[in-house]
Amino acid sequence: MADTKISGALDKLQYTIGVVCVGRGGVENALTVGWMSQVSFDPPLVMVAVDRVHYSEEFLRSTKSFVLNLLSNADKRLAAHFAHESYAGEDKLKAIATRSADSGAAILDDAIAYLDCEVVAIHPAGDHLLVIGKVEDAAVLREGAVLTTASGIRYLKSKPRR
């Protein structure tokens, strides 16, 4: 974004940082997301924004599910681990303790909470896709403050894959 006035004002918006896990059966991926929100109480729906060029978009369309893992304020390194783009054959989940949700996607053992979601809609929105998920299962795994951009972490758009 070239306009520094606009980007400066947008930086004032505060967001929760989470990790979206997709896939199942040993073919998985995970990515850090900085834009998410609850969008409905009944049924319980959440939205996550995924970069259009991200590899995980294919998983979202094929598996029709994802787990949104909420991180603690102390988990900046974990957020950074999943923020980098995967190389072919790289398994970002390999060294991370996880268990499978009912959907088959990974729940991070270090997450504060998780939401296991069925994809109900994907909407294009500029350079991102808004993925709407119906929460099928969820739990608070431990207490604590969630990681947000208020902690000083900034989530920037990556360069397109080649």
Three-state DSSP class for residue 115:
strand
The neighbour count for residue 120, using CB atoms within 10 Å, is: 13
Given the candidates 3.40.50.300, 3.40.50.11860, 2.30.110.10, 3.90.1150.10, the CATH classification of the domain at 9-151 is 2.30.110.10
pLDDT in tens, 82-95: 887 655 556 778 88
| Strand 98-100 relative to strand 128-140, pairing | unpaired
Instruction: Please give the Cα distance from 7 to 69 (Å, whole number).
Output: 27
Question: Residue 93 has what pLDDT?
Answer: 83
Instruction: Please give the Cα distance from 112 to 123 (Å, whole number).
Output: 28
Burial 135-154 (b: 16+ CB within 10 A, else e): beebeebeeeebbbbebebe
pLDDT in tens, 58-116: 778 888 999 999 999 988 888 888 887 655 556 778 889 999 999 999 999 999 999 99
Instruction: Please give the Cα distance from 19 to 34 (Å, whole number).
Output: 9
Mean pLDDT of 10-17: 86
Side by side, which strands form the sheet with 113-125? Answer: 27-33, 18-24, 65-70, 113-125, 128-140, 45-51, 36-40
Question: Residue 154 has what pLDDT?
Answer: 61
For the chain, what is the mean pLDDT?
Answer: 85
| Strand 18-24 relative to strand 27-33, pairing | antiparallel
Amino acid identity of residue 151, one-letter, is S
Question: Residue 153 has what pLDDT?
Answer: 67
